[in-house]
Structure 1
């Protein structure tokens, strides 16, 4: 069972920046009749966490009001579970739950298991944490929201980040041609090792013209689909063919300040622009989200997905602010993973070598 106190990052009021974070001693999560209690072995900071702590995320208006323990993505070992649960004490699991920047987290599984999955065969907890909910988000965005088809070209913005590296692999597994947009040569090299042939740097002026030139070489006027997790809809539309689709999954590059887009651009391109909000979709359509998770897990079990764990090592709850800083300044390739406690899972066999 959990101790009477644990280390965690408690948000008692919204902060100006992650530099103000404090490590606290807090009570462990409450355990109910439908509760899965998990000892966290690893956690992975995301841009959502940076927005949550500052009160800049749309969920701060409703779900995420102080006080709360920060953190969402985790992997760990089940400590206790309801009698009806398929997870038993000692099982290694990963998923998403509020309060992951701590030593323990609890998940209400009374309405299903969409937020928690068993660690895939041959994966460590660290690798599963590095993939996290990004796999289901990206599969749902590409397969369900964008209706990506075999042979189409998908442009992945922020392709070197946690969502992007998984989206590239999913698109490749679906038989699509992928163009990745990244910020530096190191991230480009990782994508090429994953099988992404075309990589464009967004730090170069007019990078959208480079994308269009790549498509012109193939006799096409633009890409079929844009996967946008950074908040660059106007650039997405410039790269899109007539009648193409843009799927928006987040705004990692915007620090809470939203882009304004001329609607005439959508009309002139005959474009479809759809937002894919994974958490809300799961609340409204749990059966669809369960199926999305299942399809992604099949990809993972079949070896089509490899975790991309950033090479820097972080240890303990006290090191989470440093990982958030590296994420904030865009040093991280793939996902930064913080080791919270020892992991009993297998030797690393499936991660991308950086």
Structure 2
């Protein structure tokens, strides 16, 4: 088969479409003929040499795919050849085929084009597990989403709104502000012009920035608030006011998804199918696709992501 290999740490130009060995189908695996994958920030970090795949995962980038089941390994009863599916991966999505543990595979949602479904697994599992399973966001509470125009942000805004939350988000331009309002955001803060900590009091914050926003996030949380950190785009190390945390009874959670054991990912995937897919199939939450790029031209898709101009997901299609 063919896949995108990383010739060495560097810019988008190091992504090369090459012939590689076919994946081996082990016990418990599902082999998927890939229709599309999607570009995530983790793929960029892997391209730059900062984020290796977990042990046992394919070396090619790509944390999610959609496609058609080609083969199933021994003991797999949940899926069969011909099923249209999407899957959460440890790596290997930028390829014509990928083998993935059945626990990380889910039926493609009805009423969503199979290509577009490629942009759902990573954001759905990330948002559901962090905002609702860890952050325990409830109807009527306020969620602050940093980076509301990103793939994760556009999904978080829609899902939280569909489940009855008041949704606030930060963006970097007026154009992006208008787009996330159309997705359901109640309040939008341009972080280039305003300090979010002066503008909002939130029950849950979904944060991709890390150290840079730590002080502001503590200020912005209400009593009993929950901060969930899922990215470090603003740095790894920062100071935290423990006095403020004590007085407001705050909690801070820092999580990753990619390196979790298969069984843990399986719990999240099944919960997404049960709780999120019905909203997607009803049209209350939709994949937001910024662009579709041929998979062989993954370098161009990475340039789009690096530019920061996109809203939603960039897909790699075959």
Same fold (TM over 0.5): yes
Q: In structure 2, how many angstroms separate the alpha carbons of the residues matched to 1:280 and 1:70?
A: 14
User: Could you tell me which of 218, 234, 240 is aligned with 2:221?
Assistant: 240
| Cα pair 1:164 1:229 within 8 Å, conserved | no
Superposed CA RMSD in Å reads 2.4
| Cα pair 1:247 1:273 within 8 Å, conserved | yes
Q: In structure 1, how many angstroms separate the alpha carbons of the residues matched to 2:2 and 2:262?
A: 30
Query: Cα gap change, 1:132/1:186 in structure 2, threshold over 3 Å: closer, same or farther?
Result: farther
User: Could you tell me which of 248, 251, 257 is aligned with 1:278?
Assistant: 257
Q: In structure 1, how many angstroms separate the alpha carbons of the residues matched to 2:20 and 2:11?
A: 21
User: Could you tell me which of 83, 102, 126 is aligned with 1:137?
Assistant: 126
Query: Cα gap change, 1:288/1:78 in structure 2, threshold over 3 Å: closer, same or farther?
Result: closer
| Cα pair 1:163 1:229 within 8 Å, conserved | no
Q: In structure 1, how many angstroms separate the alpha carbons of the residues matched to 2:101 and 2:265?
A: 14
Query: Cα gap change, 1:288/1:117 in structure 2, threshold over 3 Å: closer, same or farther?
Result: closer
Is residue 8 from structure 1 mapped to residue 13 from structure 2 by the alignment?
A: no
| Cα pair 1:282 1:289 within 8 Å, conserved | no
User: Could you tell me which of 140, 143, 146 is aligned with 2:135?
Assistant: 146
SS at match of 1:337: strand
Q: In structure 2, how many angstroms separate the alpha carbons of the residues matched to 1:279 and 1:245?
A: 22
TM-superposed deviation, 1:237: 1.7
> Which blocks of at least 5 consecutive residues in structure 1 are unaligned?
1-5, 213-221, 341-354
Name the residue aligned to 1:102. 95
> What TM-score do the two structures reach when normalised by structure 1?
0.80
SS at match of 1:314: strand
| Cα pair 1:129 1:337 within 8 Å, conserved | yes
Structure with higher strand content: 2
Alignment of 1:70-89 (within 5 A): 70-82=61-73, 84-89=76-81
Query: Cα gap change, 1:263/1:249 in structure 2, threshold over 3 Å: closer, same or farther?
Result: same
Name the residue aligned to 2:312. 334
Post-superposition CA distance 1:157-188 (Å, at most 9, x none): 01110111111112112211000111122322
> What TM-score do the two structures reach when normalised by structure 2?
0.89
SS at match of 1:68: coil
Name the residue aligned to 1:298. 278
TM-superposed deviation, 1:273: 0.7
TM-superposed deviation, 1:243: 2.8
